[in-house]
Structures are given as structure tokens and as C-alpha cells.
Amino acid sequence: MSTDLGQLYQELIRSFTARPTDLKKCGLLLNQLKIGLIGAGLLVPQPDANPVDLATAREILEIGAFWSIRSKDIPSFDRYFSQLQTFYNDFSSVLPPSPREFPIRGLYLIRLLTQNRIADFHITLESLPLPADSLTSNPFISHPINLERWLMEGSYSKVWNAREEAPAEEYKYFVDEIMGTIRNEIASCEETAYESLPLKDAGTLLFFKTQSELVQFAQKRGWQVDLTGGAIRFAKKGEDKAEIPRQKLIAANLQYARELEQIV
Amino acid sequence: MADVDMKPTEEKKTEETKEEEKPKKVPLTPAAEIKLNATLIERAVSTFEPRFTHRVLRTLTSLKKKLDAGALRNATEEIYPADSQTRQQLLALFPPASTDLSMEIDTPPSKPATVEPVPETEVYFRLLLIHHLLASPSTYGKAMEISKQTVEKIQILNRRTMDPLAAKVWYALERSYELGGELADARPMFLAAQRTASLRHDDETQASLINRLLRSYLQYNLYDQADKLVSKTTFPLSAGNPQFARYHYYLGRIKAVQLNYTAAHTNIQQAIRRAPPATTAPGFYQAIHKLSVVVELLMGDIPERGLFRHPVLEKALTGYFEIVKAVRSGSLSQFQTTLSAHQAQFEADKTHTLIVRLRQNVIKTGIRRLSLSYSRISLRDICVKLHLDSEEDAEYIVGKAIRDGVIEGRIIHEKGWMECGGQKGGYGPEVIDVFNRRISYCLELHNQSVKAMRYPLNAHRKELAAADSAREREKELAKELAEGGGDFDSDEPGLGEGF
């Protein structure tokens, strides 16, 4: 690794660990470093590369991943994560384990949750290099696992309470997004499960602190807010019109006829 | 026409010889069996009939068990001429035989071989040797080396008659790498070979290699890559049933992890149907049923009880049976205790993460049972009965269950209870869907079973020949008619005039 790349790297670490972090400067440094890494052939690592250089490249990318979250640039986080995967999966025998590996993997899991990409979440979870019993003992991984379980069960209050228990600073950046997802979930449940709901209770169920927030949210979903009675009425979905799906029926019958003809 | 006629008779002859051999087959020594197989391979190569090679490979499993170095050595010495180079090479590879076996070699005085056998025979010998070496852990390294050499040899020779053997050698290669603990290193080799095989339309090898790759991906939990491989390749339709069974099993695993349970279930059904009978391949049968039980539970179905009494499955599925009971009764605490009691087994089966997902199904079943038995129940009671942590949770969970259509009902928030509505009429647009699903399942079942049937490759030639001879006869008949009925023709105009 060339010396000016090393200098840039030192500078990045300095500015990243400084509080408060100068995100803009980090971003500029990261861009320069990435170009440098491409020049040194380390961005997409080759098997014969020097392990020390590889570890440095990995650290730069890890800082990049954290930086993307702090500057709320999620697509950039995805890119860093996919680059890091090569380091984590294919070079795990060459490189010493990174202390940032599991925080980043956990963040990626949460990121999948906020987008409701549950299938991808499970695939990523399966490919974690951990035995099943240590999944729950690793705080960075168990957090997203618990979140997913609660979301699937419907224990939304637990998700709400867990937002303070985030194992790393960066996890909190996703809390707002998760809360948005949850509110929409709860709202769709309420629409079918209740006929009407007192305003106050609706506020607590949806984790709103003020009534105005709730009213805004209710208007967005098209609920009838009865301010004088202090209640929300959910428009009852009319009985679905029992219409005969003609085209589907015809297509199905033709299909049966064709198949039967093949058999006979 | 002549040579088409020849074939069937020749085939019949081999069938007859086979029949003759059958009664003798029981006391056949491994060495003699190998020799017999070598002649079969010889015949397969000379007639371009992969059928014979397949017959040889079918005996592989049983032969593998009684194989020893002496038998291999003996067979090689008899089949290869004394001055053959391949003989020297092969003999050098074999582990030294113990003395009592070399005694046996001297006894049967048979005529010494003079003709160099086809290269397929050598590959067959190597395949046997690899399997022999895999029987004991101390020789895994050697097996790995030899299998690699063999694969290289096959690729240099590039003979189509080798394909069925090559597929088996790839399996042996994978097995040796897996047992040697270096499965990941073999992956680039598989990928390269898979490309070559698909370019050469070598279906047999291709099918085998796709399965090898899937296995190696799943071994390392690389579901993403496995999924990509599946979407980028087409599994050859002419592949044998065992390969298909494996392929469907791997697909089932991938789909189950992706939460696509319905598709996973179809694949698993296919795999079960195509798998060899439970007694011949108990391992596969058990593995696939374990997965099948979990996927069925995840789909919200309860597996049949009879399955758990199957003699092959009963013992292997005990843990799963407990889980099924817990899910059926909707008791979270029972589910948790069962899960932790059998955790080691589930992890070994790689079904642990799937079973953990069942938690929500347990809750759903619990709520459904409550909604069926009560017309009105307080959230507090739900909380107690389902062992939930708080009333607040119970409210959310019930709300979600109502939205997901698990139960019919409403929550009356002010009074803190749930009112359960009547059950659905059971007649509506969804009936069509259910009917459609069942019918398409039956049709699919029929089509797949038709596809799963295997016919001898050239059987239709016999029919063609029969049809040809029938046509010939017809022609002759027509000719005779034309000749014999000449005077008819002359009469006809007269007749026509009269009418």
C-alpha cells in the first residue's frame, strides 16, 4: 500500500473518531481512499493480496458503511456492505476477525427489516457464520432477530420498547424507519379489528405523543376523526361484492380440458 | 433396414444371458462381479447403448460394501493384458492386498487377457477404488487425489460413452472433498466442469454437477448463491430420478429459507415421490421428511400422524413429532421446552432456524382455538392462556390475527375484550381457488409421474420395425390384389353403366 494512501487512511480514522464527526470531510476522504484502493487492486480483493493491506481496506470500507448510515445514505450503505461481504465470507481464514463485523451485519439485517424484505432477512440470517445457539448471545445479531420475531407475532409494543436498547449508536438511525413501518402495520390491523377507538387510546396504540400527530396520521389513512366525541371511526369495509370471476373460471376450465385430453 | 432388425434380436440375446446369470449372481465374488461389469461396459461402448453402463452403475451401491483391495487387484490383473501400461498404473494405485486374498487370486485359472480394454473400464476401476478408499478416514486424502486425477483423465478423453460414469465420478469427487473437509475448494472445479458439460449436452454429468454445486452451497449456508445458480441453469429433463430427487430436495430447502413455503412444499413432494424406497435409502428418506414436516407446519398444516409411525421414520422424527404436538395444541410454553430439548438435533438437521419461525404459528393456532371456543373473551384471559407477556401485546397480536384473516372477530377496546364473529360460510369466491389448487395438484401429480417413467432408449425402434414390416405386408397384399383382381377392374365400367 502506498504511503499517501496510508496518510489518507490515518486522516480518515482521525476525523471519524473525532466528536462531533465531520461527516462531509469523511465523505471526501472516503472517495479519495476508494479511488486509491481501486488503484492498489484492493477494493475487489485478490487472493494473493497482503493480509495487512486487506485488513486496512476492510476497515476503510467498514468506516464507510458507518459513515453512510450517519449521513443517512442508505443506498451507499448497501454498496459498502456488498463490498465488505467478500472480506467477511471469503477471506475469513486469512484475516483476523473484525470487531465491527457483527455490528455491520446486524445493521444490514435491520435495514432489510425496515424495507419489509423478510425473505432476504432470513437468507442473510442463514448465511451468518455463527452456530444457532450463539445467534441469541451476540447482542448485535439478537437485536434484529428479536425485532423480526416481534414484528411477525404482532408484539409491537416490544419493538417500541426495544428502540432504546440498541447495541450500537448506528442502530438508532433505523428506529424512525422501523417505527414508520410498525405504525402502518398497526393502523391496518386497527382498521379491521375495531369499529371505533377513543382518540386517546388510538394515540397510545400508535405510539403518538401528541394528538395533532395522530390527527395528521388519521387523515393520511382516511379515517373519520370525531373530535367532539373523541373517537376515531373506521370505515367498515362493505361486504365484498360477490362477483363471479368469469375469465378466471373459463381459463381454468379450458386448462382442465386440455390436461384431461392429454391424459385420455 | 437390416441393422434395425438386428438390434432387437441382439438385445434379446443379452437379456437371455442376463437371465442365465441371475441365479448365479448370489454367490458371485466381488472380483467376478467387477469382471462381469467390465464386460458390460465393453459392450455398452461398442454398441453405444448407455443402458449397459447404467446397469453396471446400479450395482455400485451393493458392490461398494463388499469391495476390498484384493478383489480390485484380482479383477485388474485378469482384465488387462500383462504388458498394459494402464494395468501398471492401476496396480500402483491400489493399496497392498493381504496375503490370504492373493492366495485366492491364484486359484481361478482363466485365460489371460490379450486385448486392451476401453478407457471406460479404467475409469470404472478408478471409481470403485475411490469408493473403497472412502470407506476409511485414513485414506480420504488419497481418494481426493485419485478422484481429481480421474476427472482430469475423463476431460482429456472426452468420450460420450463415458458420461454416465463421469457423473458418478463427480459424485465420488465431491464426497471425497466433503469428507476431507475441503468442499469449498472443489467449487471452482465444479463450476468449470458444469459449463463444459452443458456445452457438450452431457445431461447426466450436468445434472450431477448442479446437484454437487447446490450441495456445496447449502453446506456453507450460501442460499443466495444457490438461488442464483438455480435461476441461471436449467436442470436437464433427461436426468435420472435420483438426481431429480436430490435437486428437488435442495430446491425445497432454498425455497423454505426464502419463506416461499408453498413452492418448497411442491418441491419436497416431488423429491419424496422420486426418491428410492425408504428401505434402500433411509438417510435421504428421513432427511426429506424432516424438512417436509417443518414446511407443512409453516404452511399452517398439520402433518399426518401415520407418518410418525413409519418404521424408518419413527425414531428419526421423534423431536419433530413433539414440535407438531406443541403447534397443534397452540401452547407456547410446550413449544419452547420442546425446542430447547431437541435443539442439538434440529441444528444438526439444519432445520433449527425454520422451526424457530414456527413461534408465530403456535400463537395463531392458540388464538384460533380460543376464538372457536369462546364467543367473547377478555384480553387478560388471552394473555394468561397463551402465556403472553402483557395485555398490550395481546391486543396487538389479536388485531394482527384478525387482519391476517386467522380469526373473525372484533376487539372492543373500551371493555377490553375480543368478540368472536361467526365462522365464514365456507362458500365464496375462495372455493374456486381451493378447487383449482387441488385439481392442478392432481394434474401435476399425473404429469410428473408420466415424466418419471423411464423407457429403454431404442425401444421405439422395435415398434418402428414392426410398423415397417406391417406396411411391407400391406404393400404386398395390395400388389397381390392388383394382380389377382385385374378382371374385376375390367368389369367395373360395365357395372357403372348399368346403374
Measured between CB atoms, does B439 come within 8 Å of chain A?
yes
d(CA B303, CA B324): 8
d(CA B293, CA A62): 41
Query: Are the beta carbons of A154 and B397 separated by less than 8 Å?
Result: yes
User: Average pLDDT of chain B?
Assistant: 78
Measured between CB atoms, does B402 come within 8 Å of chain A?
yes
B250: confidence class by pLDDT, cuts 50, 70, 90: very high
pLDDT of residue B103: 42
Show residues of chain A in contact with B411, CB under 8 Å.
193-194
Query: Are the beta carbons of B259 and A119 separated by less than 8 Å?
Result: yes
A194: confidence class by pLDDT, cuts 50, 70, 90: confident
Question: What's the pLDDT tens digit per position in A56-80?
Answer: 888 888 888 888 888 888 888 888 8
pLDDT of residue B4: 38
Maximum distance among all Cα pairs of chain A, rounded to whole angstroms:
79
Measured between CB atoms, does B347 come within 8 Å of chain A?
yes
d(CA A198, CA A229): 8
Name the fold adopted by B359-420.
Arc Repressor Mutant, subunit A (1.10.10)
Whether B461 and B4 have beta carbons less than 8 Å apart is answered as: yes
Is B101's pLDDT higher than 60?
no
Nearest to B411 among A193, A244, A263 (CB): A193
Query: Are the beta carbons of B411 and A155 separated by less than 8 Å?
Result: no
A260's grid cell:
384431461
pLDDT of residue B17: 39
Give the rounded percent of residues in chain A with a pLDDT score beyond 70.
90
Prediction ipTM score:
0.74
B464's grid cell:
418402428
Lookup result for grid cell 373506521? A234
Question: What's the pLDDT tens digit per position in B8-29?
Answer: 333 333 343 344 444 444 456 7
Chain A: residues touching B (Cβ < 8 Å): 118-119, 122-123, 125-128, 131-133, 149, 152-158, 185-186, 188-195, 197-198, 201, 205, 242-245, 248-249, 252, 255-256, 259, 262-263
Show residues of chain B in contact with A157, CB under 8 Å.
390, 392-393, 396
Show residues of chain A in contact with B365, CB under 8 Å.
none
Beta bridge partners of B418: B377, B411
Question: What's the pLDDT tens digit per position in B251-298?
Answer: 999 999 888 888 999 899 889 888 888 888 888 999 999 999 999 998
Is B99's pLDDT higher than 50?
no
pLDDT of residue A24: 75
Measured between CB atoms, does B353 come within 8 Å of chain A?
yes
Query: Are the beta carbons of B363 and A242 separated by less than 8 Å?
Result: no
For B169, counting Cβ atoms within 10 Å of its Cβ (0-12 exposed, 13-18 middle, 19+ buried), the class is buried
d(CA A34, CA A32): 5
Nearest to A153 among B260, B359, B395 (CB): B359
Query: Are the beta carbons of B223 and A126 separated by less than 8 Å?
Result: yes
DSSP B238-280: T--HHHHHHHHHHHHHHHHHTT-HHHHHHHHHHHHHHSPPTTT
The residue-averaged pLDDT of B154-166 equals 81
B464–chain A nearest CA distance, Å: 23
pLDDT of residue B321: 92
Beta-carbon contacts below 8 Å between A and B:
112
d(CA A189, CA B172): 55
B180–chain A nearest CA distance, Å: 17
Question: What's the pLDDT tens digit per position in B171-226?
Answer: 888 888 888 777 777 888 888 888 888 888 888 888 989 999 999 888 888 888 89
Query: Are the beta carbons of A149 and B359 separated by less than 8 Å?
Result: yes
For B417, phi then psi, to 5°, come to -135, 170
Query: Are the beta carbons of B224 and A154 separated by less than 8 Å?
Result: no
B298–chain A nearest CA distance, Å: 13
Beta bridge partners of A232: A197, A225
CA closest to B339 among chain A residues: A133
Query: Are the beta carbons of B392 and A157 separated by less than 8 Å?
Result: yes
Query: Are the beta carbons of B400 and A189 separated by less than 8 Å?
Result: yes
pLDDT of residue B390: 81
B327–chain A nearest CA distance, Å: 15
pLDDT of residue B115: 67
**Which positions ≥6 away from A115 have C-beta within 8 Å?**
none
Residues 230-289 of B with CB under 8 A from A: 257-260
For B220, phi then psi, to 5°, come to -100, 15
Q: Tell which wins on pLDDT, A151 or B88.
A: A151
pLDDT of residue B458: 67
* End-to-end Cα spacing for chain A: 73
Beta bridge partners of B197: none
Q: Residues of CATH 1.10.10.10 domain(s) within chain B? A: 359-420
Question: Residue B141's CB: how many other CB atoms inside 10 A?
Answer: 14
d(CA B399, CA B388): 14
pLDDT of residue B329: 83
A94: confidence class by pLDDT, cuts 50, 70, 90: confident
d(CA B359, CA B330): 9
The residue-averaged pLDDT of B98-105 equals 42
A254: confidence class by pLDDT, cuts 50, 70, 90: very high
Query: Are the beta carbons of B222 and A127 separated by less than 8 Å?
Result: yes
CA closest to A239 among chain B residues: B428
Which ranges of B200-240 would DSSP assign to H, the alpha helix?
Answer: 203-219, 223-232
Question: Residue B13's CB: how many other CB atoms inside 10 A?
Answer: 10
Is B243's pLDDT higher than 80?
yes
Chosen from B223, B231, B396 to mutate, greatest number of chain A CBs within 10 A: B396
The DSSP secondary-structure symbol of A238 reads: P
Show residues of chain A in contact with B449, CB under 8 Å.
none
3-state DSSP assignment of residue A55? helix
Nearest one of A133, A125, A84, A121 to A104, comparing CA atoms: A84
Q: What does DSSP say about strands B417-420 and A196-198: parallel, antiparallel, or unpaired?
A: unpaired
For CA atoms B214, B217, B220, B225, the dihedral sign is negative
Query: Are the beta carbons of A256 and B259 separated by less than 8 Å?
Result: no
Question: Residue B247's CB: how many other CB atoms inside 10 A?
Answer: 22
Query: Are the beta carbons of A158 and B393 separated by less than 8 Å?
Result: yes
Show residues of chain B in contact with A128, CB under 8 Å.
221
Is B499's pLDDT higher than 60?
no
Chosen from B400, B412, B430, B449 to mutate, greatest number of chain A CBs within 10 A: B400
For B232, counting Cβ atoms within 10 Å of its Cβ (0-12 exposed, 13-18 middle, 19+ buried), the class is exposed
Is B459's pLDDT higher than 70?
no
Is A102's pLDDT higher than 80?
yes
Walk me through the domains of chain A, giving residue ranges and CATH numbers: 3-202 (1.25.40.990)
Query: Are the beta carbons of B432 and A249 separated by less than 8 Å?
Result: yes
Chosen from B254, B356, B413 to mutate, greatest number of chain A CBs within 10 A: B413
Show residues of chain A in contact with B363, CB under 8 Å.
153
CA closest to A183 among chain B residues: B396
CA closest to A206 among chain B residues: B396
pLDDT of residue B254: 92
Nearest to B257 among A126, A186, A188 (CB): A126
Query: Are the beta carbons of B436 and A131 separated by less than 8 Å?
Result: no
Show residues of chain B in contact with A195, CB under 8 Å.
410
Is B124's pLDDT higher than 70?
yes
User: How far is CA B107 from its chain centroid?
Assistant: 42
Beta bridge partners of B417: B378, B412
Nearest to B398 among A118, A125, A193 (CB): A193
CA closest to A120 among chain B residues: B258
B95: confidence class by pLDDT, cuts 50, 70, 90: low
Whether B146 and B93 have beta carbons less than 8 Å apart is answered as: yes
The residue-averaged pLDDT of B369-375 equals 84
Query: Are the beta carbons of B436 and A201 separated by less than 8 Å?
Result: no
- Lateral strand order in the sheet of A224-226: A196-198, A231-233, A224-226
Give the rounded percent of residues in chain B with a pLDDT score beyond 70.
83
Residues 144-173 of B with CB under 8 A from A: none
B302's grid cell:
398439520
The residue-averaged pLDDT of B145-165 equals 82
